[in-house]
Each structure stands twice: as structure tokens, then as C-alpha cells.
């Protein structure tokens, strides 16, 4: 819990402020109430000394209480900065299934974005080479990334979960364009022995 005494000073543990109240009451009692009857001359000296000691102790205890409350100063600064978008385009073979995989649509997207913010374009995959994780990682120095990809990451490339962790450390925002299917995606899986002997029959299953 954070308590703000003003717009500048805040306390992380404000509950300790309640300790100061009984201390001030005790100080008032010690100053204004007499517990021993002394001669007038000694009373004057004793009263001045008591006031001095009490005052200094109140200051010391008050500083200790404030320190226990964990005071801190916060200031908010808003800066427009120099916002840009890095457009990462996947031109790998698997992108042919999606309607945005043509230069016209990517260029249209870039033009619309450039009406509001500067845009740079980088190709992160082409042909059968789709090591998306590695390519995106190399662009994490930019603060805002916009992906045009199907997310088909090649085996051995950096995983997207690891990429997300690095993006958080670099304070990089990653967004992706939602793609619409242009063709139905069909996959075939063939399982069977990895090696064999010449002139020997083997059985394979196709799913």
C-alpha cells in the first residue's frame, strides 16, 4: 500500500505514522505536567532543560518514524519521443496460404501506417527458410514490431516463448497482423522405420 502525503512525497508503510501520535501526547504531558515539586529557581532551569531535551527527542523520534514509513519521491515525466514501427514481413513458402502474402497488400498496409507514424520494413523469412524466432530476435532493439507472418517457425530457431521473455527485457512491443486464409492448409504425416535393408519390404502409415 502506498500513501501520498502530497503530490511529491509518498510513504510505502503509512501505518507507522500512527506511532507519532502517542509520542506527541507523551511529550505534551512531560512539558506541562509537574511530577515533582521543586524550588522556583530549579523549576525554571529544570523546565528549560526539559523543554530542550523533549524537543530534540521529538525531532529524533519523528525522523525515525518517517524513516520507518519508507518515504520516497516520485516524478512523472511524459515524453513524446520518436515513435516508429518496424514491419517484419514473412515471405516464406507457407505464407502462400494467406491472402496478405503479396507485395501489394503489404505495401498498402505500410502506406496506411506511414500516414500516422514512420515505418521501416524488413523481410524475416523467404522460401523454405523460416527461422522466424532468430530473425525477430535480431530486431528487438526497435521499440515496436509489427509482424506479418503465419508463425511457422523452423525447428532449431529461437522459440517464441524465449523471444517474449527477451522482448520484455528490451521493453519491446510485438504485435501481429491477423491473416485470412486464401487456401486450405493440408498436412500429411508419414511414419515408418528410419532405416532398412535392401530388397526387404517395410510398411509405412500415412495420416
pLDDT of amino acid 17 = 73
Q: Are residues 119 and 157 in the same domain?
A: yes
pLDDT of amino acid 41 = 56
Phi, then psi, of 11 in degrees rounded to 5: -120, 135
Tell me whether residue 186 is in a domain: no
The Cα angle at residue 71 between residues 69 and 72, in degrees rounded to 5: 150
Sheet-wide strand order for 119-127 = 119-127, 85-92, 144-148, 173-176
Tell me whether residue 197 is in a domain: no
Are the C-beta atoms of residues 185 and 203 closer than 8 Å to each other? no
pLDDT of amino acid 2 = 44
Q: Are residues 33 and 108 in the same domain?
A: no
Q: Are residues 93 and 169 in the same domain?
A: yes
Q: Are residues 89 and 39 in the same domain?
A: no
Phi, then psi, of 15 in degrees rounded to 5: -65, -25
Tell me whether residue 165 is in a domain: yes
Tell me whether residue 192 is in a domain: no
Tell me whether residue 185 is in a domain: no
Q: Are residues 148 and 114 in the same domain?
A: yes
Weakly modelled stretches of the chain, pLDDT under 70: 1-8, 27-47, 50, 77-82, 98-104, 180-186
Q: Are residues 115 and 40 in the same domain?
A: no
Q: Are residues 102 and 162 in the same domain?
A: yes
H, E, C per residue of the chain = CCEECCCCEEECCHHHHHHHHHHHHHHHHHHHCCCCCCCHHHHHHHHHHHHHHHHHHHHHHHHHHHHHCCEEECCCCCCCCCCCEEEEEEEEHHHHHECCCCHHHHHHHHHHHHCCCCEEEEEEEEECECCHHHHHHCCCCCCEEEEECCCCCCCCCCCHHHHHHHHHHHCCEEEECCCCECCCCCCCCEECCCCCCCCCCCCCEEC
Tell me whether residue 184 is in a domain: no
- Expressed as residue numbers, the domain containing 14 is 3-73
Tell me whether residue 125 is in a domain: yes
pLDDT of amino acid 105 = 76
pLDDT of amino acid 5 = 45
H, E, C per residue of 146-194 = EEECCCCCCCCCCCHHHHHHHHHHHCCEEEECCCCECCCCCCCCEECCC
Tell me whether residue 98 is in a domain: yes
What sign for the dihedral angle of Cα 72, 78, 81, 83? positive
Q: Are residues 97 and 169 in the same domain?
A: yes
What sign for the dihedral angle of Cα 162, 168, 173, 175? positive
Q: What is the CATH number of the domain that holds 124?
A: 3.40.50
pLDDT of amino acid 162 = 92
Q: What is the pLDDT of residues 23-42, one digit of tens each?
A: 777 766 666 665 555 555 55
pTM: 0.49
Q: Are residues 38 and 113 in the same domain?
A: no
What CA–CA distance (Å, rounded) separates 71 from 26?
A: 25
Q: What is the pLDDT of residues 122-141, one digit of tens each?
A: 998 888 888 999 999 999 98
pLDDT of amino acid 32 = 61
Amino acid at each position: 500500500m502506498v500513501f501520498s502525503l502530497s503530490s511529491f512525497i509518498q510513504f510505502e508503510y503509512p501505518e507507522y505514522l500512527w506511532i507519532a501520535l502517542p509520542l506527541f501526547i507523551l511529550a505534551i504531558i512531560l512539558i506541562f505536567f509537574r511530577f515533582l515539586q521543586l524550588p522556583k529557581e530549579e523549576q525554571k532551569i529544570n523546565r528549560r532543560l526539559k523543554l530542550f531535551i523533549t524537543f530534540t527527542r521529538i525531532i529524533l523520534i519523528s525522523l525515525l518514524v518517517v524513516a520507518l514509513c519508507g518515504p520516497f519521491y516520485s516524478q512523472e515525466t511524459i515524453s513524446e519521443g520518436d515513435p516508429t514501427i518496424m514491419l517484419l514481413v514473412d515471405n516464406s513458402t507457407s505464407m502462400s496460404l494467406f491472402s496478405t502474402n503479396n507485395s501489394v497488400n503489404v505495401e498498402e498496409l505500410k502506406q496506411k501506417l506511414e500516414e500516422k507514424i514512420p515505418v521501416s520494413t524488413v523481410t524475416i523469412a523467404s522460401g523454405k527458410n523460416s527461422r522466424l524466432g532468430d530473425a525477430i530476435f535480431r530486431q528487438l532493439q526497435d521499440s515496436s514490431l509489427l509482424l506479418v507472418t503465419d508463425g511457422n517457425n523452423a525447428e532449431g530457431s529461437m522459440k517464441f516463448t524465449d523471444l517474449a521473455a527477451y522482448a520484455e527485457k528490451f521493453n519491446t512491443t510485438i504485435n501481429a497482423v491477423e491473416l485470412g486464409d486464401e487456401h486450405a492448409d493440408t498436412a500429411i504425416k508419414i511414419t515408418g522405420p528410419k532405416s532398412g535393408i535392401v530388397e526387404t519390404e517395410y510398411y509405412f502409415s500415412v495420416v
